[in-house]
Amino acid sequence: MLNKEQITTLLQFVASVTPDKISCDACLDLVPELAESQLGNRPLTEVLEDVQNHIDNCPCCAKEYETFLEALHAIAEE
């Protein structure tokens, strides 16, 4: 039985999807470049735009990217 919250999650998951050109592996290979561009406030190249778009579509890569940024902040502090 799905309750209202679960139905809403499912509908949001469906309604928010956009076309995605790349795979999880391709995304994870390029996150170092994405992170440095974003942390350095540099404009994203077309490929990095695709990586960001994948992250917006993929909850697993999104969580992993968030974890990666936390780790990068920790090593930048030294």
49 touching another protein, by CB under 8 A = no
46 touching another protein, by CB under 8 A = no
Measured between alpha carbons, how far is 62 from 46 in angstroms, rounded to an integer? 19
Dihedral, CA atoms, 50, 67, 23, 25, nearest 10 degrees? 120
Among 38, 52, 53, 57, binds another protein (CB under 8 A): 57
Whose CA is closest to 32, among 59, 64, 77, 58? 64
Q: Which is nearer to Zn ion, 7 or 66 (CB)?
A: 66
Find the shortest distance in angstroms from Cβ 11 to Zn ion: 21
CA distances from 32 to 3, 7, 11, 65 (A): 39, 35, 32, 10
33 touching another protein, by CB under 8 A = yes
Residues lying near another protein in the complex (CB under 8 A) are found at: 1-4, 6-17, 19-20, 23-25, 28, 31-33, 35-36, 57-60, 63-64, 67-68, 70-78
